[in-house]
Chains A and B, each alone.
Chain A
């Protein structure tokens, strides 16, 4: 190989892309030719700055710190490899960086002592269980809802809607219920001739119901009063009203029991009916 041949292959040789005979021929020529050795030394750098370094020095300056930050970024540019291959300082930096990247994930866990997990479980078992906590949350949510001033009205709307759906809508499963309830309250029998009410009429018309009916309705009314009073007291937080309601309920239940045994007998004591109908 002569000097011209070497110049043709110089770039490939310096990039390490030359293989086999061609590489051996360049090496042989360089061993023999001092002038070409000096050319290679200038391009490579050697003791003096390389051409790239000289150009950078007179244009953008050294780019090592920028290259190092790029190397440390999450996805770095491929062309940095040329700089790293040539710059010993950045090569060392890249090796240290690779070592850090390899080791850092290994530091994620620290072996706890053997009792740690059981201590944690013990200290959480003493607390309300997760299921219990979920239940408590549901109860708290309900209490929050029911404590609102409009809770009674909302409940009334819901109950009315359910009753309408059950008894008065086109597909209501219990369309006869309101009529029967009214009949029962009045103590009258259903209109004769209505086949659907025949069974109910026969029940209402029995001597037992005729005998006990009014008294039982009276006591049921009292029970209903007590429930309403206690419920209202509970909703508005009035303890006295709750107590009154509870005693009314108790009297209603006693009255029902007495009414079933002997309709004519009346309760006495605190449950005796006042002239106005109230205890």
Chain B
């Protein structure tokens, strides 16, 4: 997979348009997934993801570390998404769709029973993620969701490796506590409904 991507990036740099299309198809879900954690509106997320690929297309001839494409792509994605949110913050949003609805729309459903179970678990974790602080949510998104190496995360966020490691641990702990709190809330609300 890794060598495969390197090869694909090399072909793109040589001007192979088919390789470029394959690269877009392969990473579109990941880019959109990361963008959605920063940009709440579905339409905006799509535009930003498109802008990411346009920026990548423009910078690819200058990009020489072909074997480090994925961290670079995630870095460009984060930069574009943050730029967008900053631009967006300058004017009030027209009407944003809540992130849960956005994510629920795009969930693939292989088996209905398994899907329902996974969906409820996923939904719970997503809601818990929303409760985490901005700082912790970002490191969870980069480290645990996108699976970036700790060193790459530290570099991206401009913090020392040790800080990134301890921040990731605190973020996971906060997330697990948020999951437990949500479970307790659900159990309480179900108990109240039962009492009625």
A residues adjacent to B (C-beta < 8 A) = 68-74, 92-93, 96-97, 99-101, 103-113, 116-117, 119-121, 123-125, 127, 129-134, 137
Do residues B15 and A131 form an inter-chain contact, with CB atoms below 8 A? yes
Do residues A69 and B176 form an inter-chain contact, with CB atoms below 8 A? no
- Kindly provide the distance from the CB of A107 to the nearest chain B CB, expressed in whole angstroms: 5
Identify A74's interface contact among B53, B125, B165, CB under 8 A.
B165
Do residues B15 and A134 form an inter-chain contact, with CB atoms below 8 A? yes
User: Complex Cα distance A103/B182, Å?
Assistant: 16
Identify B53's interface contact among A106, A111, A120, A131, CB under 8 A.
A120
- Kindly provide the distance from the CB of A225 to the nearest chain B CB, expressed in whole angstroms: 41
User: Complex Cα distance A134/B126, Å?
Assistant: 43
Do residues B13 and A130 form an inter-chain contact, with CB atoms below 8 A? yes
- Kindly provide the distance from the CB of A219 to the nearest chain B CB, expressed in whole angstroms: 45
User: Complex Cα distance A110/B33, Å?
Assistant: 5
User: Complex Cα distance A201/B183, Å?
Assistant: 104
For the complex with contacts A109-B33, A124-B54, 10 further pairs of A-B residues with Cβ separation under 8 Å are: A100-B176, A101-B144, A104-B140, A109-B29, A116-B32, A120-B28, A130-B20, A130-B61, A131-B14, A131-B15
User: Complex Cα distance A113/B42, Å?
Assistant: 11
User: Complex Cα distance A72/B36, Å?
Assistant: 25
B175 contacts chain A at the CB level, 8 A cutoff: yes
- Per-residue contact bits, chain B 15-30, to A (CB 8 Å; 1 contact, 0 not): 1110011001100111
B157 contacts chain A at the CB level, 8 A cutoff: no
User: Complex Cα distance A121/B23, Å?
Assistant: 10
Do residues A74 and B128 form an inter-chain contact, with CB atoms below 8 A? no
B residues adjacent to A (C-beta < 8 A) = 12-17, 20-21, 24-25, 28-30, 32-34, 36, 46, 49-50, 53-54, 57-58, 60-62, 103, 106-108, 118, 121-122, 125-126, 128, 140, 144-147, 150, 165-166, 168-173, 175-177, 179-180, 183
User: Complex Cα distance A127/B20, Å?
Assistant: 13
Do residues A107 and B126 form an inter-chain contact, with CB atoms below 8 A? yes
Do residues A124 and B173 form an inter-chain contact, with CB atoms below 8 A? no
- Kindly provide the distance from the CB of B150 to the nearest chain A CB, expressed in whole angstroms: 7
Identify A127's interface contact among B58, B126, B170, CB under 8 A.
B58
- Kindly provide the distance from the CB of B23 to the nearest chain A CB, expressed in whole angstroms: 10
Contacts A120-B24, A130-B12; is A99 near B61 (CB within 8 Å)?
Answer: no
7 contacts between A and B (CB under 8 A): A68-B176, A69-B173, A99-B121, A99-B125, A108-B146, A124-B57, A137-B61
- Kindly provide the distance from the CB of A146 to the nearest chain B CB, expressed in whole angstroms: 21
User: Complex Cα distance A125/B108, Å?
Assistant: 30
Among residues of B, the one whose C-beta sits closest to the C-beta of A94 is B176
- Kindly provide the distance from the CB of B44 to the nearest chain A CB, expressed in whole angstroms: 13
B13, B24, B30, B118: residue with the most chain A Cβ atoms closer than 10 Å:
B24
Identify B61's interface contact among A70, A107, A113, A134, CB under 8 A.
A134
User: Complex Cα distance A146/B140, Å?
Assistant: 50
Do residues B176 and A72 form an inter-chain contact, with CB atoms below 8 A? yes
Do residues B15 and A129 form an inter-chain contact, with CB atoms below 8 A? yes
Contacts A130-B57, A130-B61; is A110 near B176 (CB within 8 Å)?
Answer: no
Contacts A100-B175, A124-B20; is A112 near B54 (CB within 8 Å)?
Answer: no
User: Complex Cα distance A111/B28, Å?
Assistant: 8
Contacts A68-B173, A120-B50, A124-B54; is A110 near B36 (CB within 8 Å)?
Answer: yes
- Kindly provide the distance from the CB of A80 to the nearest chain B CB, expressed in whole angstroms: 13
- Kindly provide the distance from the CB of A108 to the nearest chain B CB, expressed in whole angstroms: 5
Do residues A108 and B145 form an inter-chain contact, with CB atoms below 8 A? yes
A68, A104, A119, A127: residue with the most chain B Cβ atoms closer than 10 Å:
A104
Do residues A109 and B30 form an inter-chain contact, with CB atoms below 8 A? yes
Among residues of A, the one whose C-beta sits closest to the C-beta of B27 is A109
Identify B165's interface contact among A73, A113, A120, CB under 8 A.
A73
User: Complex Cα distance A93/B172, Å?
Assistant: 11
Do residues A107 and B122 form an inter-chain contact, with CB atoms below 8 A? yes
